[in-house]
Amino acid sequence: MLHRWRDEAIRAGEKITRIALAFEAGRDGFWLARWLSARGVEAHVIHPSSVAVSREHRRAKTDRLDTELLKRGFLGWLRGERGHCSMARVPTIAEEDAKRPNRERACLVGERTRIVNRMKATLARLGVRNFKPTLRKAAERLATVHTPEGMPLPPNVLDELQRDMARLGFVVSQIRQIEEARQKRLEQETETGPHAMVRLIARVVGVGIETADMLVHEVLSRPMCNRKAVARYADLTGFPDESGAKRGEQGLARAGNARVRRGMIQLAWRFLLFQKESALALWYRARTGDSRLGTRETMIFALARKLLIRAGARWSPRCLVLLSRDELIAEFVHLAVRCSQC
């Protein structure tokens, strides 16, 4: 269709040197943008929430009106007026595929937690609170569990718990398969590329393989224009509310990558546990020593933002090309994190 429109314009006497196309990000991902780019079409993916819409209480909303709105925003963005809308970065297939093991493992861990909680709730209704489904021999001990009255578990409840145990064992085996496959890839890859970054960051005290893999494939492998972009992508920026004399904060914007936010919050707590004498840990304790309600939770977000911004500024893809392995270790130690090899 695009080529037909181009040919019609050329027959009408127009000179077509550029075809630009944009569409909203959605469930289909970025395959269409890659497909169009491979055929000479300048394709862009618009963040749907970045397009300004009318604030009237009741307004007409049709596909034609939405298309006109997107077209006006896209033309303004092409003119250089970045306030009209914002574009999503189109990743490559290799970049998208590298994120799948970590994300799949996170989903399986959530499924494991749901199964365990459901089993505990089922047993709690019968007064049983001393059974742990996560133990190695939990499936064998299930038949010996008794209620506080000394009665065995009802047959239907026992069958349900056995099916849950089988499902739990299957999920745990899949998690183990993902971890073993990732460990094998890390051992087989060379000393350059994302896998080398994962191995290097995992050597830092308090940072494990999961956190290192998440940081590398979700943040550190992405080209960021400045430090604010790093914090904004990680969903660690504030959400101010200001109108006239009214000024306040509404917490985090929650418009970025939630996986990175959760991982950095966990890393910040571990950072305080394993790096007690570092400059950032002392900075955190100096501001939370008054024991005010909510201060520790608020400042942990600030600590996570500082850690990520400094790491993003020093571990950009351009720096990874220019620095050697020993220099990378020195750069990360400069973030006030003691390395296990130092």
DSSP per-residue codes, 122-139? HHHTTT--S--TTSTTHH
Contact 335, 311 (CB under 8 A): yes
Q: What is the mean pLDDT of the chain?
A: 84
Query: Domains of the chain: which residue ranges?
Result: 2-88, 93-188, 200-240+253-333
Letter for the amino acid at 315?
Answer: W
Burial of 279: CB neighbours in 10 Å, binned 0-12, 13-18, 19+: exposed
* DSSP tag of 153: P
pTM confidence score: 0.78
The pLDDT assigned to 143 comes to: 87
- How many angstroms separate the CA atoms of 218 and 121, rounded? 35
The pLDDT assigned to 312 comes to: 56
The pLDDT assigned to 317 comes to: 45
Report the candidate in 199, 201, 198, 200 with the shortest Cα–Cα distance to residue 213: 198
Secondary structure of the chain: what % helix, strand, coil (to 5)?
A: 60, 10, 35
Contact 337, 204 (CB under 8 A): yes
Give the Å distances, CA to CA, from 288 to 56, 72, 171, 250.
44, 48, 40, 21
For the stretch 146-182, pLDDT in tens is 999 989 999 999 999 999 999 999 999 999 999 999 8
Helix orientation angle between 93-124 and 258-274, rounded to the nearest 10 degrees: 70
Q: How many residues does the chain have?
A: 342
